[in-house]
């Protein structure tokens, strides 16, 4: 499912935060625009992550230094 940066994805009781996400106040949020992935790994809770197409490099990664004109 597509999601935008800053979108609340689910509670930390429902899943574990993976790449492309962050946690705040007991919820997992998307840190970038992309597609939501929910994987069941060895842990009890599924891992929620947000991934982007490798082709779309228009948006900077989290932590990237950017220059802009306002």
Structure tokens at 4: 């935008």
| pLDDT greater at residue 16 or residue 41 | 16
Please name each of the domains of the chain with its CATH number: 2-46 (2.40.50.100)
| pLDDT greater at residue 24 or residue 56 | 24
DSSP state of 69: -
Q: How far apart are CA 62 and CA 70, in angstroms?
A: 20
pTM: 0.72
User: Does pLDDT of 68 surpass 70?
Assistant: yes
pLDDT level of residue 69 (50, 70, 90 thresholds): confident
Are the C-beta atoms of residues 23 and 62 closer than 8 Å to each other?
A: no
pLDDT digits (tens, 9 = 90+) for 31-57: 988 899 999 877 688 999 999 876 555
Mean of pLDDT over the chain: 86
Q: Which residue has tokens 């947000």?
A: 50
């Amino acid at each position: 499912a597509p999601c935008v940066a800053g979108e609340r994805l689910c509670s930390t009781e429902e899943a574990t935060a993976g790449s492309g996400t962050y946690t705040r106040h007991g919820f997992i949020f998307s840190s970038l625009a992309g597609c939501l992935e929910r994987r069941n790994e060895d842990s009890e809770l599924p891992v929620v992550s947000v991934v982007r197409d490798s082709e779309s490099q228009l948006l900077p990664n989290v932590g990237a230094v950017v220059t802009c004109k306002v």
